[in-house]
Amino acid sequence: MKDTMNNVELTQIAQTFQTPLYLYDAAQIEANYRAYAKGFGDYPHLICYAVKANSNLSILQLLAKMGSGFDIVSQGELKRVLAAGGDPKKVVYSGVGKRREDLIFALKTGIACFNIESIAEIHLLNEVATELNIKAPVSLRINPNVDAKTHPYISTGLKENKFGIRMEEAFELYQMMATMPSLMIEGMDFHIGSQLTEISPYAEALDLTLALIDRLADAGITLKHLDMGGGLGIQYEDETLIDPADWIALAIEKIGARSLKLVIEPGRSIVGNAGMLITEVILTKENEGKHFAVVDAAMNDLIRPALYDAWMEIRNLSDTVQNTADMKSYDIVGPICETGDFLGKNRMLALKAGDYLMVKDAGAYGFAMASNYNSRGRAAEVLLQDGKARLIRTRETEESLFELEVAHLVK
Ligand SMILES: *Cc1c(COP(=O)(O)O)cnc(C)c1O
């Protein structure tokens, strides 16, 4: 998030909407999207925002208005895209476990492409499409077996991962698909991981997939697009970043004279730095000389630190003086009964109960991964747009958490 809002303004927003609170900046999301669009220039392309990074309807709507397409991984995400006014003709559908009913719904909706991840999925899709008498546009997700050099949980392009189809099998599978009456071969895709900070794994994956595309062309199977997934990292700490323009330029250069539309699926790099989590310090405590700040946000609100050991910057919005003399090394922890429930460890901060802290760069995989663990309602979400702060998701009430439960009360 750009530092357009000062701490006083942010504190006022926190007071108005209460904490924990996710706050997003529309202008930053738009700028991030434009960086990709600009990188393509006139080159034929489709930007498919990866919905799973942040699937709030207002954010999807904002992107749909800018002309964005969407990368979805579930029927639920497709329904969100439609509810937000997204164009189904710009939707690509990824994921290793699409069920029959998911395929039926997506086929009837008329999406741009099914990114197929297994032989079983090829057969199921052809079967369902034949039953519905609809031609299914398809791409094979290739697992190029490249090391994305990121956290193992978000590395997806190694052969031992569950994702995609091995290079060695893909050629024959394309030949098989070419004979299947209800499949329309559109393209090829890969997605090698998330929070990538080096461009070389992409170069490697592009070389491998383009060579395969050439082999297929020689065999009479012409692909229309290449989809190089998402995965560009953002700056949480001091990471070096891949410039979207360089990334796209690399792909365009490698594609060269081939006639291939380029598809990308960025998620984190569109919304990550456009959001923050604001939380209030409930109390401070000391155990064996270690200082803890217990805050009202927890791992159920933001699981990245617990799940990936991710480092996210934490600032005190209420500490306007920044008095270094009062600074101590704090673990910023939530109220959940898990030792893994922390937002940050060993942070030099001056703070006291009642202060508002912000966790920076929490726009991606923040709220989207939130849960109700410990019967905690999920946080409210607010979007800053044209100088106004608007509620885009109401804080969950505790009552709503057990609304769907059927209590068979013991007499
Ligand atoms: C998660 C995912 C993305 C987005 O990754 P980011 O790192 O958020 O850019 C794109 N494509 C697929 C298939 C994904 O699973």
Q: Which atom of ligand 1 is nearest to the CA of 269?
A: 9
Q: Is 366 annotated as a binding residue?
A: no
- Tell me which residue of 253, 168, 240, 257 sits closest to 203, measured CA to CA: 253
C-alpha span between 108 and 206 (Å, rounded): 32
188 Cβ contact partners less than 8 Å away, ≥ 6 residues apart? 139, 140, 142, 170, 209, 212, 213, 223, 225, 226, 227
In the prediction, which pLDDT does 20 show?
A: 98
Q: Which atom of ligand 1 is nearest to the CA of 53?
A: 8
- Rounded distance from Cα 191 to ligand 1 centre (Å): 7
C-alpha span between 254 and 15 (Å, rounded): 51
In the prediction, which pLDDT does 349 show?
A: 96
Q: Is 267 annotated as a binding residue?
A: yes
- Rounded distance from Cα 159 to ligand 1 centre (Å): 17
Q: Which atom of ligand 1 is nearest to the CA of 154?
A: 7
One-letter amino acid of 209: T
Q: Which atom of ligand 1 is nearest to the CA of 272?
A: 8
Q: Which domains does the chain have, with CATH numbers?
A: 4-22+273-401 (2.40.37.10), 26-268 (3.20.20.10)
Ligand 1 atom 11, closest CA: 229
Q: Probe ligand 1: pick from 74, 114, 189, 191, max atoms within 8 Å of CB?
A: 191
- Rounded distance from Cα 266 to ligand 1 centre (Å): 6
Residuewise pLDDT in 10s, the chain (411 residues): 555 578 889 999 999 999 999 999 999 999 999 999 999 999 999 999 999 999 999 999 999 999 999 999 999 999 999 999 999 999 999 999 999 999 999 999 999 999 999 999 999 999 999 999 999 999 999 999 898 877 877 777 777 788 889 999 999 999 999 999 999 999 999 999 999 999 999 999 999 999 999 999 999 999 999 999 999 999 999 999 999 999 999 999 999 999 999 999 999 999 999 999 999 999 999 999 899 999 999 999 999 999 999 999 999 999 766 667 889 999 999 999 988 999 999 999 999 999 999 999 999 999 999 999 999 999 999 999 999 999 999 999 999 999 998 876 666
Cβ < 6 A, ligand 1 pocket: 50, 52-53, 71, 73, 94, 191, 194, 229-231, 265-269
- Tell me which residue of 156, 122, 141, 158 sits closest to 209, measured CA to CA: 141
Catalytic site residue from 257, 337, 404, 407: 337
In the prediction, which pLDDT does 228 show?
A: 98
- Tell me which residue of 357, 360, 348 sits closest to 319, measured CA to CA: 357
In the prediction, which pLDDT does 253 show?
A: 98
Tokens 């439609």 sit on residue: 82
Q: Using H for helix, E for strand and C for coil, what is the string for 236-255?
A: CCCCCCCCHHHHHHHHHHHH
Q: Probe ligand 1: pick from 161, 194, 269, max atoms within 8 Å of CB?
A: 194
pTM over 0.75: yes
Q: Is 365 annotated as a binding residue?
A: yes
Q: Is 304 annotated as a binding residue?
A: yes
Q: Is 308 annotated as a binding residue?
A: yes
- Rounded distance from Cα 408 to ligand 1 centre (Å): 42
* Residue 48 annotated among the catalytic residues of the structure: no
Q: Probe ligand 1: pick from 140, 149, 265, 268, max atoms within 8 Å of CB?
A: 265
Strand pairing partners for 355?
Answer: none
- Rounded distance from Cα 230 to ligand 1 centre (Å): 5
